[in-house]
Amino acid sequence: MTETHPKITKAVIPAAGLGTRFLPATKATPKEMLPVVDKPAIQYVVEEAVSAGLDDVLMVTGRNKRPLEDHFDRNYELESALTKKGDQSRLAKVQESSDLATMHYVRQGDPRGLGHAVLCAAPHVGHEPFAVLLGDDLIDPRDPLLQRMVEVQQQHGGSVIALMEVDPAQIHLYGCAAVKPTGEGDVVQITSLVEKPDPADAPSNLAIIGRYVLDPAVFGILRKTEPGRGGEIQLTDALQELAADEELGGPVHGVVFKGRRYDTGDRGDYLRAIVRLACEREDLGPDFRTWLRDYVTEEMQGS
Ligand code: UTP
């Protein structure tokens, strides 16, 4: 008989980081609110959780993060102005974000690291497995990674993390996984994890990207996890303990993602996300693509 695992209903979105790579834009505005075409980056992330069936969303926020709460709340002044004008299409856009999911918020007083941010979710999550989506990691809506991870968790239990192959020279920017195959093409078993290794010591070129489905046993481990790399409480360190001892919270699997992903906290990737998503939009795409083609042709002629 196959074992059944508790259904996953909750998503946690850590969004309390300082966003220093994007200063000065993020001095008074959370980086998650920077627009990707005409929607803040964070709305794509909440939409992704909802598409995977998780409409109970807890956002971990901090100082300067009020705009995040306002974005997912009603805005009666704007709604009544648009209603008076009869502008139904913009009214729908304003209401879309507040109708998306059941939103909850918790504050992380001090940004003591991603592991600490996840620990702030413990009282809300309780004893069920849950998903974690980093607020500045954008997965292209056409590449349903989280859904696949939920499926794998429901099949194997334990925890599931998302991995992506990166250029070995870039692995020092990520958490890195040592893995063994499972016989299922995109699924691997994690044998160990290390946060931001030197390329010479990295066990693979598989980088951890910002999607996780976690067994609640991670909370007990995080409570005991000492600050690691960068003086921060690292989620990777806690996951390494889970991977090293299956008795703690079941196995840790990885789903190797081959789709499109953007780190919107990185300026170059942020620009690439905007160009790509704008090109593919039905309303903006045709004109924008024409302009982009002419622009690139001019640049090539100039060089
Ligand atoms: P980053 O490593 O991108 O850090 O965090 P950061 O502070 O947000 O950005 P930079 O590097 O200074 O530009 C990864 C994710 O973890 C969250 C961030 O909001 C981001 O989604 N995080 C990080 C927290 O919620 N709390 C923390 O203490 C640290």
CATH code of residue 162 = 3.90.550.10
Mutate to test the pocket of ligand 1, among 27, 114, 235 (most ligand atoms within 8 A of CB): 114
- Examine the pLDDT at 184 and tell me if it is beyond 50: yes
CA of 139 to the centre of ligand 1 (A): 17
Q: Which H or E run includes 133?
A: strand 130-133
Same domain, 261 and 295: no
Segments forming the whole domain that contains residue 95? 10-265
Mutate to test the pocket of ligand 1, among 18, 42, 63, 138 (most ligand atoms within 8 A of CB): 18
pLDDT tens digits for 275-301?
999 999 999 999 999 999 999 999 888
Same domain, 162 and 285: no
- Examine the pLDDT at 141 and tell me if it is beyond 90: no
- Examine the pLDDT at 2 and tell me if it is beyond 60: no
Same domain, 255 and 107: yes
- Examine the pLDDT at 97 and tell me if it is beyond 90: yes
Same domain, 151 and 173: yes
Same domain, 275 and 258: no
Average pLDDT, the chain: 93
Same domain, 250 and 278: no
Same domain, 183 and 227: yes
CA of 211 to the centre of ligand 1 (A): 14
Is position 50 within any domain? Answer: yes
What's the average model confidence in pLDDT over 248-260? 94
User: Residue 74 has which token pair?
Assistant: 């009603």
What's the average model confidence in pLDDT over 121-127? 96
**Tokens 């007990």, residue located:** 220
Is position 1 within any domain? Answer: no
**Ordered alpha helix ranges (H), the chain:** 41-51, 66-71, 76-85, 88-99, 114-119, 122-125, 145-156, 217-224, 235-244, 246-249, 267-279, 285-302
Full-model pTM: 0.94
Is position 4 within any domain? Answer: no
Among candidate residues 206, 204, 195, 203, the one with its CA nearest the CA of residue 165: 206
- Examine the pLDDT at 1 and tell me if it is beyond 50: no
- % of the chain residues with pLDDT over 90: 84
Same domain, 220 and 260: yes
